[in-house]
Structure 1
Amino acid sequence: MKTLADLLLLGDPRLYEACAPVTEAELPLVAGWVADLDNVMNEVRAKYHFGRGIAAPQLGVMKRLVYLNLDRPMVLLNPVLTECSAAQFEVWDDCMCFPNLLVKVRRHVTVTVRYHDEHWQPQVWTVHDAVAELLQHECDHLNGVLCTMRALDQHSYRWRP
């Protein structure tokens, strides 16, 4: 079982790599990956008091897998943002890979994501506001993009109080 000690931190070159798709043949591996993601997210929540989602590459699993736990656990395999609203908003983003740093970014207010669930069933989900921001953040991880790379300007960083 992976723990907080396995979480990749800012500067690890793997965080800047694009991930490979999860294949249907890899479905037997997904439950183990999700258990690790859930465990680490719970450790982050206990230590830092935040965490709604985590992407597989944050634990060095270079696969297109996002795990969310909002009101219930959700597994998104090979998520693709298919529609993004023209309307955007600014938000102080945080990341488990640099838990004490906040970065001001601009995100779409509404996004639609297509993905496969853990049973390999295709799904479509449209979300708004905070969940839309979260999904954009996690999908960025799958493409090797960190919120530090989306900072509005050189003054868009602050230490978590």
Structure 2
Amino acid sequence: MAVVPIVKIPDEILNRKSEKVGKFDDETKKLINNLLDTLQAAKNPEGAGLAAPQVGILKRVCIARKFLPNPNNPNKPLIQDVVLVNPKIISSSKESEPGWEGCLSIPDAYGKVQRSKKVKVKALNEEGEEVRISASGFFARVIQHEIDHLEGILFTSKVMGNTITEKELDKILEKEKNS
């Protein structure tokens, strides 16, 4: 469909709760396609997900990227974009872990956020069919981050400590990799 502009802070729409999608119609399909196109076009940084409020629409629709091992190139994972309409977390693990997060709506800010290691989600897919998804690891983190967007919650409100720049994050990750 179309690549649409990503809303950035301090736009207030990012702090507002999204409305449930009532009828799965052409408007909903257009929104899904615009989110997919916009997420796929996002470079520098690439996104791991995108929610409707991030393109200025207060509807409960988001995309969460699942990164899968690539047998042909271990350094370039395969990407599966998972569409979630009216997502609801129906269970989450008591076990949680801190992990680095960023956001396409908050340029050059990264921080560690404590999230459940596993979640189960009920939602509609891009065809309007009900799905249940079990997610763990980074995929679970992305889903929780995107559902927060639908609630008007930004990751910066959950950061443990201060946010850092991409350059600072790269240094930390390089140090962690070499230790």
Runs of 4 or more, structure 1, over 2 Å off, are 68-74
Specify the code of the residue in structure 2 equivalent to 1:7: I
Q: Following TM superposition, by how much is the alpha carbon of 1:69 offset from its aligned partner in structure 2, in angstroms?
A: 4.0
- Conserved 8 A contact 2:48-2:65: yes
Q: Following TM superposition, by how much is the alpha carbon of 1:68 offset from its aligned partner in structure 2, in angstroms?
A: 3.0
Specify the code of the residue in structure 1 equivalent to 2:37: N
Specify the code of the residue in structure 1 equivalent to 2:54: Q
Specify the code of the residue in structure 2 equivalent to 1:85: S
Q: Partners in 2 of 1:2 and 1:22 — Cα distance?
A: 21
- Conserved 8 A contact 1:27-1:118: no
Q: TM-score, normalised by structure 2?
A: 0.81
- Residue 82 (structure 1) aligned with residue 81 (structure 2): no
User: Sequence identity, in percent?
Assistant: 24
Q: Identify the match of residue 120 of structure 2 among 112, 115, 118.
A: 112
Q: Identify the match of residue 52 of structure 1 among 48, 53, 68.
A: 48
Q: TM-score, normalised by structure 1?
A: 0.89
- Conserved 8 A contact 2:120-2:134: yes
Structure 2 gaps, min length 5: 67-78, 168-179
Specify the code of the residue in structure 2 equivalent to 1:64: R
Q: In the TM superposition, what whole-angstrom CA distance separates every residue of 1:47-106 from its partner, at most 9, and x where no partner exists?
A: x14212100110011100012343333221100011111111111101000131102110
- Residue 157 (structure 1) aligned with residue 163 (structure 2): yes
Indicate the SS of the match to 2:106: coil
| Number of aligned positions between the proteins | 154
Q: Partners in 2 of 1:84 and 1:140 — Cα distance?
A: 14
Measured on the aligned residues, the alpha-carbon RMSD in Å equals 1.4
Q: Partners in 2 of 1:86 and 1:103 — Cα distance?
A: 22
Q: Partners in 1 of 2:39 and 2:128 — Cα distance?
A: 23
Bigger drift between 14-23 and 72-81 goes to 72-81
Structure-2 residue corresponding to 1:32: 30
Specify the code of the residue in structure 1 equivalent to 2:10: G
- Conserved 8 A contact 2:45-2:104: no
Which structure would you say has the larger Rg? 2
Bigger drift between 10-19 and 66-75 goes to 66-75
Specify the code of the residue in structure 1 equivalent to 2:19: A
